[in-house]
Amino acid sequence: MNFEKNENQHMIAQMVRDFAEKEILPYRNKWDNEEYFPVDTMKKMGELGLLGIYIPEEYGGSGFSYFEYATALMELGKVCGGVGLSVAAHNSLCTGHIYYHGSEEQKRKYLPKLASGEWIGAWGLTEPNTGSDAMRMKCTAVRDGDEWVINGAKNWITHGLSGDVAVVLIRTGELLDSNGITAFIIEKGTPGFSAVKIKDKFGVRASETAELIFENVRVPHANVIGEVGQGFKQAMQILDGGRISIAALSCGVARGAYEASVKYAKEREQFGQSIGKFQAIAFKLADMATEVEAAELLTFQAAYRKNNKLGMTKEGAFAKYFASEVAVKCGNEAVQIMGGYGYTKEYPAEKYLRDAKLMTIGEGTSEIQKVVISRELLK
């Protein structure tokens, strides 16, 4: 594995930094306060190629690897975990599911729209009563000739309301049958398909989250992704890759919190000197820096394995588990270092902490990552 960033990674990092400084940073507090999902900003990121980063050019994507993808999310995470989460969910989940498991026809129909940002993508696995225990889902699809009739609900769905298309995992077989779940493509506006925005989130408030409701929604059989019954396994593979993106975003949030802490520790004086000169603060910074570097290495290791089609279930979980916990720790330490100021919205520390917390929950909690890792170890 090469520890140097490649030319494309440098180029993407610079591009995202420039974009974020102009188009995200000035508005991030407003979006956070108002829980506003900036669809226009998403579209602009689509024009820059950030919404189909690893999708091949023949389907309208940028044709990069997971190295460039992780790099872009690391840069976004430094500025806004909410916007970063939307980019990660759009790329890894909806777009990724169609790219990795869709038919040629489905890819040609949906990927160019998703990769360009013309359409925003959503992905639905979780339900009100099934989070970690995803297999126990109750939302059902029953075949009726050339169509499927879908009933039920999905919860905590990123872009559930603004998404133009959703990939949704739905039960088509017996409860707890791992071959009894199927992935469907469902377009916004399909009769019976509605969504309700989930409000008052703790963090990632610029990323839209919604509940999806299906009331006798009729979907053509042509919208089934892959084979009927293979949806759960497809979803697990999609989450393996998605977890790299959450790890990368966590690294960005952690590094943002760390860099803000260094800046503050140099500027803030107490007892006649900058607080960074006190070992109590300096050692916090040393711990943060060490752990951010380690999290980035784990993330790029998982990206390397993904790029090279090596198994990465365990490595993706290592990266997601470690990096998300590091992000929470760095956000927490940033608040502590900044003291009273860190506890206000005038400084970015509290937002880093709030955004970081989602990273230990979304796309599988830290506890689920330990389930995944330990199962792989004991295979």
Q: Tokens 């290592």 map to which residue?
A: 318
Query: Is residue 262 part of the contact set for ligand COS (CB under 6 A)?
Result: no
Give the nearest distance from C-beta 136 to ligand COS in angstroms: 8
Considering the rule CB under 6 A, would residue 270 count as an interface residue with ligand COS? no
Can residue 374 be called a binding residue for ligand COS (CB under 6 A)?
no
**Closer to ligand COS by Cβ: residue 165 or 372:** 372
Where does this chain touch ligand COS (CB under 6 A) — which range of 9-17, 162-170, 212-220, 228-236? 228-236
Q: To the nearest whole angstrom, how small is the minimum distance from the Cβ of residue 334 to ligand COS? A: 26
Q: Does 237 bind ligand COS (CB under 6 A)?
A: yes
Report the C-alpha gap between 298 and 294 in whole angstroms: 6
Tell me which of 126, 207, 299, 332 binds ligand COS, using CB under 6 A. Answer: 126
Euclidean distance between CA atoms 378 and 244, whole angstroms? 22
Minimal distance, residue 363 CB to ligand COS, in Å: 5
Q: Which is nearer to ligand COS, 55 or 317 (CB)?
A: 317
Q: Which residues of 10-48 are buried (b: 16+ CB within 10 A; e: fewer)?
A: eebbeebeebbeebbeebbeebbeebebbeebbebbbeb
Q: Is 239 in the site for ligand COS (CB under 6 A)?
A: yes
363 as an active site residue: the answer is yes
Q: Which residue, 102 or 362, has its beta carbon nearer to ligand COS?
A: 362
Which residues are CB-contacts of 324 (< 8 A; sequence separation ≥ 6)?
246, 247, 250, 356, 359, 360, 366
Interface with ligand COS: number of residues (CB under 6 A): 19
Bridge partners for 225 per DSSP = 183
**Which of 134, 161, 244, 327 touches ligand COS (CB under 6 A)?**
134
Is residue 212 within the footprint of ligand COS (CB under 6 A)? no
Residues 6+ apart with CB under 8 A from 168: 123, 124, 139, 150, 154, 183, 184, 186, 212, 214
- Among residues 230 and 336, whose Cβ is nearest to ligand COS? 230
Take residue 59 and report the two structure tokens written for it.
């389907």
- Choose one: 130-138, 209-217, 253-261, 271-279; the region binding ligand COS (CB under 6 A): 130-138
H-helix or E-strand spanning residue 355: helix 349-359
CA distances from 81 to 145, 247, 325, 368 (A): 44, 12, 14, 21
Report in angstroms how near the CB of residue 127 gets to ligand COS at its nearest: 10
Write the burial class of residue 6 (CB in 10 Å: 0-12 exposed, 13-18 middle, 19+ buried): middle
- Member of 125, 137, 228, 359 binding ligand COS (CB under 6 A): 125
Which of 111, 185, 254, 368: binder of ligand COS (CB under 6 A)? Answer: 368
- Among 14, 33, 103, 132, the residue binding ligand COS under the rule CB under 6 A is 132
87 in contact with ligand COS (CB under 6 A): no
Q: 105: which 2 tokens?
A: 């026809």
- Contact predicate 311/376, CB 8 Å: no
169 binds ligand COS (CB under 6 A): no
Asked whether position 232 contacts ligand COS by CB under 6 A, the answer is yes
Rounded CA separation 38/49 (Å): 17
Which are the contacts of 185, defined by CB distance < 8 A and separation ≥ 6? Answer: 98, 102, 106, 110, 165, 166, 167, 219, 223, 225
User: Quick one: which H or E segment has residue 129?
Assistant: none
Tell me whether residue 123 or residue 347 sits nearer to ligand COS (CB atom). 123
Amino acid at 70: A
Instruction: Name the minimum Å distance from CB 374 to ligand COS.
Output: 11
Instruction: Give the residue with the Cβ less far from ligand COS, 236 or 285.
Output: 236
Which parts of 289-348 interact with ligand COS (CB under 6 A)?
A: 313
d(CA 199, CA 259): 30
User: Which positions lie near ligand COS, rule CB under 6 A?
Assistant: 125-126, 132, 134-135, 178, 232-233, 236-237, 239-240, 313, 362-364, 368, 371-372
Residues labelled as active-site residues: 363
